[in-house]
Chain A
């Protein structure tokens, strides 16, 4: 009888009740592999990084505690504030454009085709390595011999210094990453679209709602939980932009594209200033945690409008 009750489909039991009922060893056994990775590669480095942020550390000799000196230095460091500003501009352009493109692309994939091949093609840029994408675009956007500027010249437009103009460098890099990631983001949104019950649209059709009204009154609100999840993932990823910048402008011209991760990397591995680099990393961690928390709260991602 008990076994029957346990086997009842759809029954959910809390972890705690499982542990109490003697399944603890099984639970822990399944948690173990993931925990090893989490502790060894995330938790312990994070704790150590936080500790190092209070030290002067060049990796090759022992860290010397310096209290809050690294954090004080950070407050007066123009390059740090510059990198924060550059990163913020990048995130706004990257996420803004990418989210709109992804939603439109997802609608297109959802409505205009059911071919897996066509839907797969949207993902293709995502399958190419970041560094390769950045290099190929770098060559195509070259001022003197790049194909994009060749085409602009044929159209009678003066060549554009995509990477060399401080005003354009960050938007250029942001758009390259939109190109690479929009398909992947669209796939996540697409999954959300498929989860919307078609009967809602049928009801709207009966009420005589237009396409615009259906999009803004039905599609977007019902996508909200998915969009919240997508935004948390993409915004966090966007803040961590590094490779595209590293292989193209490497922070230049002047400091126009010196994003925060590049600055951290240069401090740590270029100047062997791991203590200060850790301090900036800790600040970035707190910042990202705060942004993610705000997003989840503001977008109420754990609630759906269907209830």
Chain B
């Protein structure tokens, strides 16, 4: 056990440092600029993304674009998520921003508002090459700004699932098939809570639902807690429960202005969720925020289950040296399950020297030709329905059953994640508020926070 956890720690450290090295390399590349772009084509575009896992697929896609457009060269650069928006902002100010870049629905509003994004309306609809009907439902709408213009084309979609350690499930005598239709409610937690309790084991080997369970000395927690709870988003941690309780983030989406963090359904959901800590089924916030991510602790065998996003499916499935299964999120009081889904998109910087070529690239990134190449890498679900199905098959080839995510699209239970102006400011309020609540603060704290959040949009 010690040996195993040590080796995991080392690989994790190695990965982080490796990531730092990638960032440094990327910075060096950025400094050396176009010199590193191999070709001598008349038009050189730069394309930014943050997810290093997707670079292989997109490089193939960009090669295909260059083959079809002999006069245009595209240089792919990766900038880590932690520095992405800062570097982008610096680039916008210095007028050295990438011509085309991967954008986030919660960020683009700010940039569109500051006239930094090129409208892409002429790429879609009857006149343009992209047919919005080809996308998974709801994704394309996320990319329309408050002014009615389109500022991005969706590239992929995500969903949340319940990842479980199949060995620990077998030890507990639980049939994985029973996880397909778990139910949950904020009063007694339903079969979801019973499963979490049963998978929790204390230092003496007593399970969470057995007599004599010592909640102060837990060896394996039934459910993990991420040190980053995403504040007012709760993407991987609590959103799927609140949404399955009939809650919604704001009065409308996109561009909501009146938020619902004081809503009874939200409060009862997060109160139940925090209750798992008191019962000893989930680590305390202090423990969870005192080191590694939920995924690392899951890989080390400390959590029997975690709720995480589809973008991490491959990484989690192969991290721990034990078989990992993925179940869909539980069915809530509304009678159906829920997940947030986020469609990342490709945007064009308004200051690009080559707007026509940049738009042509964005249109190409939205073709089945490109999205199929991305799909075959089995990292994310492309936004086009056909390519998304191809990705599910590619995941299966890698030994990862992703039906827990696709079922949300089939059943129409995927809820578009909130798109608002000033998301960063909202999170500056909600992040610490949610932390404080998990650490034991009174639920009243959300009423005050909700007033502060609403004040941003007034």
Contacts and interface: CB of A to CB of B under 8 A. Distances in A.
A163 interface: yes
Which secondary structure characterizes the binding site on chain B? Answer: helix
Interface string A259-278: 00000001001111000000
Nearest to B296: A145
B42 interface: no
B287 A161 contact: yes
Nearest to A270: B424
A58 to B, nearest CB: 7
Interface in A119-166: 131-132, 135-136, 138-139, 141-147, 150, 161-166
B114 A60 contact: yes
Contacts of A132: 17
B291 A253 contact: no
B439 A254 contact: yes
A150 B291 contact: no
A59 B9 CA distance: 40
Nearest to A253: B289
Contact of A254 (B110, B296, B432): B432
B93 A59 contact: yes
A142 B292 contact: yes
Contact residues on B (Cβ < 8 Å of other chain), bracket: 35 or more
A164 B439 CA distance: 10
A102 to B, nearest CB: 29
Q: Name the residue among B17, B283, B435 with the largest chain A CB count within 10 angstroms.
A: B435
A35 interface: no
B76 interface: no
Contacts of A254: 432, 435-436, 439
A64 B287 CA distance: 45
A147 B110 CA distance: 43
B86 A269 contact: yes
A61 interface: yes
A103 to B, nearest CB: 32
Q: Name the residue among B12, B115, B291 with the largest chain A CB count within 10 angstroms.
A: B291
B89 interface: yes
Contacts of A61: 114
A192 interface: no
B428 A145 contact: no
Given A144-B287, A164-B291, A272 B302 contact: no
A165 B2 contact: no
B13 A60 contact: no
B89 A144 contact: no
Contact of A138 (B86, B90, B291): B291
Contacts of B13: 135-136, 139
Q: Name the residue among B9, B116, B302, B436 with the largest chain A CB count within 10 angstroms.
A: B9
B435 A150 contact: no
A162 B290 contact: yes
Contacts of A266: 428
Interface string B74-90: 00000000000110011
Contacts of A270: 85-86, 424, 428
Contact of A146 (B85, B86, B283, B291): B291
Interface in B5-33: 5-6, 8-9, 12-13, 16-17, 20
Contacts of A272: 89, 110
Given A144-B302, A269-B90, 9 more contacts: A60-B116, A139-B9, A145-B6, A145-B8, A147-B9, A164-B285, A249-B289, A270-B428, A271-B428
Minimum-distance CB pairs A-B, first 4: A164-B290, A142-B291, A161-B290, A143-B290
14 contacts: A131-B20, A138-B291, A139-B9, A143-B290, A145-B5, A145-B291, A145-B302, A146-B9, A147-B6, A161-B290, A165-B286, A252-B432, A253-B435, A271-B425
